[in-house]
Structure 1
């Protein structure tokens, strides 16, 4: 009996062993290079190719059977396996751009060509061909997308206008997590984003997207997706270095290094970490043009010819008084490069743990953390030095086939040295010689009361009053500046202290496996803020500010007319503490012309809304002597007050001015949410040209109508007296005459009608058989009658015409490729609370050539940006953008 049992076990084991035959194969790209991380699916299970393109799996069923080999951005190949010793070599070919699958437009996978709204996208292949230093810089080459370059590490992406560097109308997400800085509500760009090595895809929806993504998805939304360690394992690195050239800064080297490590321990557990760091001289801002003051415009003259000179990038000269018999006189300011060293650097780390309890992608639990620390300058209401900032995010997420549930925390710490450069200059002047004394000495010298000083001469009087001025570079100057930086701005220094954070939760469920007649989704989100700037930015000196917001949405998609037409309808409701609830509907229709799925017409009506940002609600920021920027939520008006000193004869020595006083005297109403209605038409097609080539065409047009548009409004508020319906009483007139008033910039809504419209066209094809060619054009137009609200500044901030061209060949000859990008835009008006002015037309040329070394699994890239060498400015007051020349070495890309 025992022998029979042994024989039976042996026979069964032999059958099992025989039945589990091992099959091997290799995956290549179209240039016959090994293709790592390709996904191989069959009835026998799932596996991925390794860094050499090899894959292995065990056959548990009989022959023949088929395998599917796929990768993001490539066409899926189906191979029939007939025997265990079959030679399996799979070549993956790139998808056409319009065949790529996206998820952002409907929160459900669909081809770009079938997307119900305008969408732009880049994938792994596009990133490899990128001519810019990083993939994020390369987004500027997409149709209708603008980049506000501030320095090497910080850029702000936007579409369809109405934005400055602090773009609060455009949302950016990394794996579903918003990257906005908690207190200021604008995206940190790629400071908190992805490494080039970890990017799987980037999708951008230009225009209103609130129906699915809620508040602030007003101008658009950018979604960055990272590589999952289950599908993309291994170690990869890059090294970048080169030179940045600018007339003001000279030639400076930069260094940028990144490492990605990912490992699939089993079908159940995987993990990854990313580390990047860079060091680069920032673009110097040295505009010495005269201005009309804070938030004003440029005017004629310089320090030698204008006693009231206020230079664009000079700080401290904002302190100005009217002197009887002399005129307006300002103090002598410090140049920006005397207050800031332009030492830009950043260290960024992220890591994630991934667990699949079922051993497949039907259910996955993810925990991830992301950290960023460094230095950079930033231009908002003033110019700021962000030294030692620290950002962190922590996420826990459960992802299933038809749902996700996630929660995350985002926190910001400005560190000990973040400060306002304008107030640093003001405080330095006050420190060595208080304003009252300085102007008294100037008047005495100018009037001939000081021996040896030429009467009636501004320079001689100024030199006398400046005789004890702190000199940049000296120990006394450095010590005084350090003390001012350490002193909060609301206590007479320049320091900004902010430790704001927020908690966020959201979820989505798709009923596609439960409901067959249509695809229905529901979802919702909740966010809670804790604002704590210690009174340096907001009215939170005595206590932090807390508020929350929530939203819920639903979407239905239904195909009809033999699957040629598809209707998408969505609606979302959002509510925030200080504002009424808001509904955001969207409806879109696509139609397949001809039934080939290659010619799609789309039309949509969608809405967007934006709750005023935290600054627009809670600012209590002193932006200059006797000048404030004030948020106008009703709660903030009760929190704000300031004590002012009066100089008029018979006037009270001091006055206390509250937020309610300011709104009452200015006639401005509390800020409320803004809305946009957007109408879009579009057409996408894949057109066969000859027998081997295709032309991809994408046309789109939109018309936007805005209500309650939020922007700045400058008002003068008398320190005493009353103003009723815009008419000051006698006491208020006296206050204005004596100079006893506050200059206040308020966030409010305009009653004027504001519309904008535009269109874009993009095409791509191959020329000369193997060369890639692409071009796109964008037209943008503002419709606004300034006479309907003379003091309102819409801040459209976008050129009317943009033209972008791409030309290249990824395999000109064996292992060698190149790419060229050119961008042109016309002159346009820039409006902001820092400075208004014209931005000149510009043409920017970027190029790169690369060489692949298969034996080292490496790619060497040499390139440059702004190769014409003509420097340009993104916005008045920012640093001129010079040229960057770089070389990079990427291993296991």
Structure 2
């Protein structure tokens, strides 16, 4: 009986639920056609304003929709390429709706600026947007590459598959100052702290829009959105249904590549389906494969032996350090003076047991000293082992990587509308690929993957979401460490237990033997003619043949070297790339072992439905985030329990806005964030938008942004070929004994070495050294002031302009210091000599705050004009400058990598005279500028000689709609003139790319 009662209660409850849900439901149906031709439009989005309810039109342009939302109701009718309409409806069953095709100038709706939908014309800050039409007509090979056409955008091309988006000057190859969100998920690789381009993002078929917000966005989006926000939104499967696919192929051509011209292949597919307007899903996949651009800059950046950037080479400079040459570690010959000095008193026969060649040198020095009364140590110091830097013979980048790059992206989502006001989403994005990256070293990111998995509850005025980002480094490796590791696998650079079997001693002693023979012969001849100047004459004779002596010494030391393509070389390459980095000499490793995860939860609620929006609009939100570092102890430091660290962050924000007299919109917001290693930070933003004569909008804003140091800048502990990178937290300076073994600034060590080469005595030269003074390290903050103007004049001319001024507090940059292997102090001047040789010193790089304020400013203007026949001409120009650069400490790396001026010019027409033909041509130009990075030789950065040359590039495409197969055929090219250019120091040279593509969409109109 009890069971029956329970069943009856459940039945009654279910019956009442169904009855209530069916009560007062409104049915809306109709047909949507094109206004001129009256042709039915398929795939048009029909939504109930203020709800998540909606549907699309079918192949006949018809739709039917049932909603339980209470009236009055407004239906929003929208489709790409057509003017959006809002229609007030009742219980209507046969609406006749016409849409007019529209060239959109200033009509876009954005969400990035205020986290709510608003017209781009009334945005409180600068916003750039690419919608589906802009993406389809872009002359770029991918939608991500098309971001270059937006005003003020710089991109750093490290690979065909990897471009970093940079804005407002402070740029990097992996830019941690711009946050990239994909459907609300931070797309950064948690262990790298920057987005790896679009290698693990969205398929082009699934992109609905891309919004770029240059400048600080921390007030609403939290830490790290200090220079910009890139918001990518995918297509909702309720609104974008059916099958779509594309196939693209073409060639890439660059004269500096091993094979100048190679093919590439790119394909994608997407399918979405909705059931009863309640349940919908989508699946998409895309794959691209190509042979990458190549980095072949062999200019000498060593600054060794009196050479400056680019004027040395392997033949002229024994210390040659090629930009894209790897494994060319260096040492100073005079570092071996003490070794020889210790051997001088020993019997030659005893030395011969170690090395006959070394015995002949020691014997010759002693005999010459006895015959001339010249001290043996003087002969060693002045003649045999002078103050000359030499480097190992390195490998070209093309010797170490095959340049095969690829990207596979898989995306899927399940959407369920619980009711008209609530939608549940489960989404997964997974991508894997192989690409190149330039950081502290050049890296080959091989079989790298990122998975992002999200659950979300979304209403018309709120969302709650949680997601995780799972990074896996795959078989990625450091190219610089690989080159050095192969050299070490063949022959150690310096093995104290086997000097004669080590490369640098072999080189040093081979050079010394040749120098001794030349010196001895010249000295004997000079003594016979002019004894007073004999020593200097003989020394000059050695200097005259020094290039030949260095060539002979290198040939001697390089005997048996592993050559690219040989079995020993390939075996060493396999061994080094399979060993975790960095290893230790001689067993170096180059493989990344990163499996860092990010966990994130957040919410937002808009009180619009509870508060009269005419009075004020209020929204609040918050988030919690955790980074779980996991590099198997290869990249990140370990705690006292031998575990890698976890970093926790949380934050919350509130925003209020009010429109006054329908012409002035005022907005204020504030956010608080806390990281487990740093003090809490407040980020306010105040803005005003004044609308004059309906189409002229003047905006002004003040906001404060901040950037919590990245996981790597906090906890990295990694040796690279150029320096030892350590975290900026004080625990690392304690770990490496900066207190008892002083570290000196790079620029002062350079000045110290220059003084010694000029003959200044050691005690006096040592006074130039400046010890690094420890200081507190805080999150970087910026105060941004911006004014702007946006107008649509007579529906023909769209103008957008802004000026900004940034004042950075606690600006973050890199400090390079030099520490001796043994304590080097001014009290013991002889100990300071170890600071001058890479074999007896360590170069540390870590993040610090600038001791002075850093300021920069800039402006940008864009204009698009609609000509008769829907032809559009446009252009934009941007200016960025760093103020008072000379007031920064010498050697402080700001990463301000931006041309002062860059501009784009374009002309386009999406559909010429309704023929289905369209075209788009874009010319881009940027000035030359200095590049500051940790990849460049520190002295090159110190002397500001890392110039990126100016360049221009022309992109173009022609397209044709083919209605019969619902497809678009596109033929185009990027950098069609084929002139090579590089966008960053050490990056590959970009050539021309030419392609043909066919895109099918079963819901494509006309």
TM-score, length basis structure 1:
0.89
Q: How does 1:680-759 map to 2 (within 5 A)?
A: 680-688=786-794, 693-721=795-823, 730=829, 732-733=831-832, 735-736=834-835, 740-759=840-859
Q: Please, what is the CA RMSD of the aligned residues?
A: 3.1
Instruction: Deviation per CA, 1:721-780: give whole Å up to 9, x if none.
Output: 366xxx666475354367733211121111123111111111112124421111111111
Hey, what does 2:535 align to over in structure 1?
none
Q: Closer, same or farther in 2 for the Cα pair 1:672/1:322, shift >3 Å? A: farther
The partner residue of 1:799 within 899, 917, 920 is: 899
Q: Following the alignment from structure 1 to structure 2, what is the Cα–Cα distance between the partners of residues 452 and 34?
A: 94
Q: Following the alignment from structure 1 to structure 2, what is the Cα–Cα distance between the partners of residues 524 and 84?
A: 41
Q: Following the alignment from structure 2 to structure 1, what is the Cα–Cα distance between the partners of residues 662 and 88?
A: 30
**How many pairs align?**
840
Instruction: Deviation per CA, 1:279-305: give whole Å up to 9, x if none.
Output: 0111111111101279x9834110011
The partner residue of 1:365 within 401, 406, 424 is: 424
Hey, what does 1:890 align to over in structure 2?
999
Kept in 1, the 8 Å contact 2:778–2:810? The answer is yes
2:44 matched to 1:38? yes
Hey, what does 1:498 align to over in structure 2?
594
2:670 matched to 1:571? yes
Q: How does 1:623-642 map to 2 (within 5 A)?
A: 623-624=720-721, 627-637=723-733
Instruction: Deviation per CA, 1:176-211: give whole Å up to 9, x if none.
Output: 000001011011221122111111111111001110
Hey, what does 1:77 align to over in structure 2?
85
2:427 matched to 1:349? no
Kept in 1, the 8 Å contact 2:45–2:57? The answer is no
Hey, what does 1:654 align to over in structure 2?
none
The partner residue of 1:278 within 274, 283, 288 is: 288
Q: CA deviation at 1:345?
A: 0.7
2:93 matched to 1:112? no
Q: CA deviation at 1:32?
A: 7.8
Bigger proportion of residues as strand? 1
Kept in 2, the 8 Å contact 1:47–1:56? The answer is no
Q: Following the alignment from structure 2 to structure 1, what is the Cα–Cα distance between the partners of residues 67 and 394?
A: 79
Q: Following the alignment from structure 1 to structure 2, what is the Cα–Cα distance between the partners of residues 268 and 431?
A: 62
Q: Closer, same or farther in 2 for the Cα pair 1:93/1:733, shift >3 Å? A: same
Hey, what does 2:507 align to over in structure 1?
442
Kept in 2, the 8 Å contact 1:666–1:716? The answer is no
Q: Following the alignment from structure 2 to structure 1, what is the Cα–Cα distance between the partners of residues 217 and 880?
A: 19
Kept in 2, the 8 Å contact 1:709–1:749? The answer is yes
Q: Following the alignment from structure 1 to structure 2, what is the Cα–Cα distance between the partners of residues 334 and 444?
A: 24
Q: Following the alignment from structure 1 to structure 2, what is the Cα–Cα distance between the partners of residues 686 and 267?
A: 37
Kept in 1, the 8 Å contact 2:817–2:843? The answer is yes
Unaligned runs of 5+ in 1: 1-15, 645-663
Instruction: Deviation per CA, 1:16-37: give whole Å up to 9, x if none.
Output: 9xx9999652434889876443
Q: CA deviation at 1:449?
A: 6.6
Q: How does 1:765-844 map to 2 (within 5 A)?
A: 765-813=865-913, 814-835=915-936, 836=941, 837-844=946-953
The partner residue of 2:186 within 162, 175, 178 is: 178
Kept in 1, the 8 Å contact 2:869–2:912? The answer is no
Instruction: Deviation per CA, 1:494-549: give whole Å up to 9, x if none.
Output: 12111111100111111111122211111111111111112322213932111101
Kept in 2, the 8 Å contact 1:27–1:38? The answer is no
Kept in 1, the 8 Å contact 2:326–2:395? The answer is yes
Hey, what does 1:321 align to over in structure 2?
332
Q: Following the alignment from structure 1 to structure 2, what is the Cα–Cα distance between the partners of residues 149 and 99?
A: 32
Hey, what does 2:175 align to over in structure 1?
167
Hey, what does 1:615 align to over in structure 2?
712
Hey, what does 1:547 align to over in structure 2?
647
Corresponding residue SS for 1:390: strand
Q: How does 1:121-140 map to 2 (within 5 A)?
A: 121-140=129-148
Q: CA deviation at 1:388?
A: 1.3
Q: Closer, same or farther in 2 for the Cα pair 1:379/1:231, shift >3 Å? A: same
2:357 matched to 1:308? no
Instruction: Deviation per CA, 1:111-155: give whole Å up to 9, x if none.
Output: 011111111111011111111011110011011111112222111
Corresponding residue SS for 2:911: strand
Q: CA deviation at 1:460?
A: 2.2
Kept in 1, the 8 Å contact 2:241–2:272? The answer is yes
Q: Following the alignment from structure 2 to structure 1, what is the Cα–Cα distance between the partners of residues 391 and 38?
A: 69
Hey, what does 1:480 align to over in structure 2?
572
Instruction: Deviation per CA, 1:853-882: give whole Å up to 9, x if none.
Output: 101000000000001211101112111000
Q: CA deviation at 1:786?
A: 2.1
Which is bigger in relative contact order (C-alpha 8 A, separation at least 6)?
2
Hey, what does 2:781 align to over in structure 1?
675
Corresponding residue SS for 2:277: coil
Q: Following the alignment from structure 1 to structure 2, what is the Cα–Cα distance between the partners of residues 82 and 145?
A: 47
Corresponding residue SS for 1:357: strand
Hey, what does 1:648 align to over in structure 2?
none
Hey, what does 2:391 align to over in structure 1?
330
The partner residue of 1:862 within 971, 976, 987 is: 971
Kept in 1, the 8 Å contact 2:797–2:865? The answer is yes
TM-score, length basis structure 2:
0.79
Q: Following the alignment from structure 1 to structure 2, what is the Cα–Cα distance between the partners of residues 629 and 167?
A: 18
Corresponding residue SS for 2:608: coil
Hey, what does 2:369 align to over in structure 1?
none
Hey, what does 2:479 align to over in structure 1?
421
Q: How does 1:639-678 map to 2 (within 5 A)?
A: 666-678=772-784
Q: Following the alignment from structure 1 to structure 2, what is the Cα–Cα distance between the partners of residues 681 and 504?
A: 34
Q: How does 1:256-267 map to 2 (within 5 A)?
A: 256-267=266-277
Corresponding residue SS for 1:512: helix
Kept in 1, the 8 Å contact 2:302–2:322? The answer is no
Hey, what does 2:684 align to over in structure 1?
585
2:594 matched to 1:510? no
Q: How does 1:172-211 map to 2 (within 5 A)?
A: 172-211=180-219
Q: Following the alignment from structure 1 to structure 2, what is the Cα–Cα distance between the partners of residues 865 and 734?
A: 52
Hey, what does 1:7 align to over in structure 2?
none
Q: Following the alignment from structure 1 to structure 2, what is the Cα–Cα distance between the partners of residues 332 and 708?
A: 41
Q: Closer, same or farther in 2 for the Cα pair 1:469/1:36, shift >3 Å? A: farther
Q: Following the alignment from structure 1 to structure 2, what is the Cα–Cα distance between the partners of residues 555 and 25?
A: 40
Q: Following the alignment from structure 2 to structure 1, what is the Cα–Cα distance between the partners of residues 478 and 820?
A: 26
Kept in 1, the 8 Å contact 2:850–2:888? The answer is no
Q: CA deviation at 1:719?
A: 3.2
Kept in 2, the 8 Å contact 1:182–1:502? The answer is yes
Kept in 2, the 8 Å contact 1:714–1:743? The answer is yes
Q: Following the alignment from structure 1 to structure 2, what is the Cα–Cα distance between the partners of residues 21 and 439?
A: 85
Q: Closer, same or farther in 2 for the Cα pair 1:857/1:609, shift >3 Å? A: same
Q: CA deviation at 1:53?
A: 5.9
Instruction: Deviation per CA, 1:79-130: give whole Å up to 9, x if none.
Output: 7999999894623433633221111111111101111111111101111111
Q: CA deviation at 1:264?
A: 0.4
Corresponding residue SS for 1:580: strand
Q: Following the alignment from structure 1 to structure 2, what is the Cα–Cα distance between the partners of residues 21 and 588?
A: 42
User: Structure 1 stretch 31-40 or stretch 472-481: which is displaced more?
Assistant: 31-40
Kept in 2, the 8 Å contact 1:403–1:510? The answer is yes
Q: Following the alignment from structure 1 to structure 2, what is the Cα–Cα distance between the partners of residues 808 and 356?
A: 40
Kept in 1, the 8 Å contact 2:52–2:460? The answer is no
Corresponding residue SS for 1:337: helix
Q: CA deviation at 1:452?
A: 13
Q: Following the alignment from structure 1 to structure 2, what is the Cα–Cα distance between the partners of residues 721 and 826?
A: 46
Hey, what does 1:647 align to over in structure 2?
none
Kept in 2, the 8 Å contact 1:308–1:329? The answer is yes
Q: CA deviation at 1:812?
A: 1.7
Corresponding residue SS for 2:148: helix
Corresponding residue SS for 2:147: helix
Q: Following the alignment from structure 1 to structure 2, what is the Cα–Cα distance between the partners of residues 603 and 520?
A: 20
Hey, what does 2:701 align to over in structure 1?
604
